[in-house]
Chains A and B, each alone.
Chain A
């Protein structure tokens, strides 16, 4: 019973947050909806015993990224009416069509498996205690090259952003 509650409440909040992101008119409300979704996802990770992933989710996405989003929205100001005009022709039709196909696939799988509960609640491997050790172990041995490559990529992106933002060349005299 408690398991179902621990799954259903955060899952409902994920969907609620996603709906707020889509339907709210105000950008600040949208971003808070996204925060709700990300935080509820973290709760689901915790119930699956992946505490490390949950904490990183909270720290990076709900904490850092979304705070920056809010900061930018507040800096630009939200007084302007939103653009409601469609940028891509037939956007609504494409998105709703894709969504319809996705829902069809999911409901086909659920009906085919005969509404089994273990499909809804995958068995949790509680022997995976101490996920930081496991993640660090594979990151720094098996995947060390891709890991370091990504860090170089991030540094390149950061320095490119700084180079674009600050014009270090001396200004030409007219």
Chain B
């Protein structure tokens, strides 16, 4: 087998394992955090602190009967959970976990990028795959042959199309700042510290890392709101609003097919936070303490930093879910089309003017 193939397959298996174990942790963490915020205890029976609760739930779902509704469209009904799971695994491919490392495989030394696929249009890949993810929700809702899932599916398609536009527009200023659409280059462009031409300001901002969140705070806010809407979480979870739509698009799903939707939702959440961290919080950048720590530990430090940033964002996701009530449908559409998209367009214009002045000087000078 060729070396490239070995590296590729190893990466794929590692990413699969990482995402699956991570989801177990994430579901437990969310249940515990929400329980804490609502003065409850949360899961505490299975394992220490109830950490094995998700495993127990997964085994229960695996052993359950899988029901195929009589009025369901068989092919699409079976396809939808798979379509939910595949894009969620694909998106993680483009997130860089660290700088490239040198390895020796089959006697030859190779330089391995710690990213699933280092493509030069990583941002577009992310947007393309997340637009594919809509199909699972729409098809699941339609194929169930029942009215509540259908309503959930129609809501989902409208919501995801609206917020994808805002999300894409919020990313354009980031691409302009970084000068590249490759995720690896976007991370690299955020290394170092902020600087200012004015000496006094320079000493004030000089210790702040040059992450995109500081010059691009508005873009970050728009992207963060749109990403919550994109993964259909509270306060944008109209797709599965249980008071109105029973369970939303996955009402008719049971057993392991339901588990696949659940898994995809949490993997998407993790992906979205990792991508936000990569775009705006400097990705894997951070002190590696290479002098103090043994080399094999400091080699893992970039991935640890990315994990810390991602889980901080995930904590905010859970916090928002526990705090805010659900939006009404017209409010949701108004926020997307009348607020987020115009603001992101104006912000894009302002960022381009700033970049133009920085590059070419003032127009009258």
Residues of A within 8 A of B (CB): 26, 28-29, 32, 35, 39, 51-52, 55-56, 58-59, 62-64, 67-68, 70-71, 74-75, 129-132
Residues of B within 8 A of A (CB): 73, 75-76, 79, 119-121, 124-125, 127-129, 131-132, 134-135, 138-139, 142-143, 150, 153-154, 157-158, 160-161, 164, 181
Check if B73 sits within 8 Å of A75, measured CB to CB: no
Whether A74 contacts B138 in the complex (CB less than 8 A), given A28-B76, A59-B124, comes out as yes
Check if B76 sits within 8 Å of A56, measured CB to CB: no
Q: Which of A26, A63, A75 contacts B132 (CB 8 A)?
A: A63
Check if B121 sits within 8 Å of A51, measured CB to CB: yes
Determine the chain A residues whose CB is within 8 A of the CB of B79 once the complex forms.
Answer: 32
Check if B161 sits within 8 Å of A67, measured CB to CB: yes
A166 to chain B, nearest CB (A): 15
Check if A74 sits within 8 Å of B181, measured CB to CB: no
Of B120, B125, B154, most buried by chain A (CB within 10 Å of CB) is B120
Q: Which of B75, B124, B138, B139 contacts A55 (CB 8 A)?
A: B124
Determine the chain A residues whose CB is within 8 A of the CB of B135 once the complex forms.
Answer: 32, 35, 67, 70
Residue of B nearest to A70 (CB): B138
Q: Which of B75, B120, B129, B132 contacts A130 (CB 8 A)?
A: B120
Whether A32 contacts B139 in the complex (CB less than 8 A), given A58-B132, A67-B134, A71-B154, comes out as yes
Whether A132 contacts B120 in the complex (CB less than 8 A), given A28-B142, A58-B132, A74-B142, comes out as yes
Determine the chain B residues whose CB is within 8 A of the CB of A75 once the complex forms.
Answer: 154
A32-B79, A70-B142, A131-B121 known, 18 other contacts, Cβ within 8 Å: A28-B73, A29-B75, A32-B76, A39-B132, A52-B121, A58-B132, A59-B128, A62-B128, A63-B127, A63-B134, A63-B164, A64-B161, A67-B134, A67-B161, A74-B138, A74-B153, A132-B121, A132-B181
Determine the chain B residues whose CB is within 8 A of the CB of A64 once the complex forms.
Answer: 131, 161, 164
Whether A51 contacts B119 in the complex (CB less than 8 A), given A71-B157, A71-B158, A132-B181, comes out as yes
Residue of B nearest to A56 (CB): B124
Give complex CA distance A67, B161 in Å: 8
B143 to chain A, nearest CB (A): 8
Determine the chain B residues whose CB is within 8 A of the CB of A58 once the complex forms.
Answer: 128-129, 131-132
Determine the chain A residues whose CB is within 8 A of the CB of B164 once the complex forms.
Answer: 63-64
Residue of B nearest to A75 (CB): B154
Give complex CA distance A59, B130 in Å: 9
Give complex CA distance A70, B158 in Å: 11
The 10 A-B residue pairs whose C-beta atoms are closest, nearest first, are A63-B131, A58-B128, A55-B124, A59-B128, A71-B157, A55-B121, A55-B128, A51-B121, A52-B121, A67-B134
24 A-B contact pairs sorted by A residue (CB < 8 Å): A28-B139, A28-B142, A32-B139, A39-B132, A52-B120, A52-B121, A55-B121, A55-B125, A55-B127, A59-B128, A62-B132, A63-B132, A63-B134, A63-B164, A67-B131, A67-B160, A70-B142, A71-B138, A71-B161, A74-B138, A74-B157, A129-B120, A132-B120, A132-B181
Determine the chain B residues whose CB is within 8 A of the CB of A70 once the complex forms.
Answer: 135, 138-139, 142, 157
Whether A67 contacts B138 in the complex (CB less than 8 A), given A28-B73, A58-B129, A59-B131, comes out as yes
Residue of A nearest to B160 (CB): A67
Residue of A nearest to B153 (CB): A74
Check if B76 sits within 8 Å of A29, measured CB to CB: yes
Determine the chain A residues whose CB is within 8 A of the CB of B131 once the complex forms.
Answer: 58-59, 62-64, 67
A40 to chain B, nearest CB (A): 13
